[in-house]
Amino acid sequence: MAEEILLNGQPLKVAQIIDLTESKDVPSHKVEEGYDVSDHLINKPAESQIQLEIEESNLEMIKQLYESKKPTEFVCKLGVFENIVVKEFHVTQGGSINTYKVTLSLKQILVAKSKMATVSLPQLKVTPDESQAPGGDTATSPQSKQVPQAPEPPQENQSWLDSIVTFLGGIFGFGA
């Protein structure tokens, strides 16, 4: 006796549900005494393999579902499974010219949902307010400051290197 299922909202007659697997992972970790402990379970995606005997009109719908890679809903007497994709698609000619035997491997994909939280922070003044900055619409020259013990600018026939050596000689007591 054939069972009726819904795949992508389309009713189909199933010759046989070969396999339906639902499982959970049980992660564990060791405690100081050396025992393994588990404190939660992780659902693994459901997988199913079904055999259908369908007409040519439904074959095209299943083929499009396989090629689209879009998740859909699978409903059978064992439950309702959302976010199912057709992982494998195998087809052979059926008993008559316009019927086909199709084997489908279905797998549920897990969909992550993200949430966004808004955290308000106090206004931080990293840069000063421009209205308080000196200056205006025109460029201003930098302020000149006297730095004690700064090297003198090089004289007409002296290089910068010579002026620095002369400066350092004055500080450390060696002459040029």
Parent domain of 58: 3-25+43-108
CATH of the domain at 74: 2.40.30.200
Instruction: For residue 173, tell me if it sits in a domain.
Output: no
**CB neighbours of 24 closer than 8 A, spacing ≥ 6?**
41, 42, 43, 44
pLDDT one-digit tens code per residue, 54-106: 888 888 888 999 999 899 999 888 889 999 999 999 998 877 777 888 899 99
Domain total of the chain: 1
Report field, pTM of the whole predicted structure over 0.85: no
C-alpha distances out from residue 70 to 19, 73, 84, 142, 176, Å: 22, 10, 8, 65, 83
Which residue is it, tokens 């308080």? 132
Q: What angle do CA 103, 96, 88 make, to 5 degrees?
A: 15
pLDDT one-digit tens code per residue, 11-33: 888 777 778 888 999 888 888 88
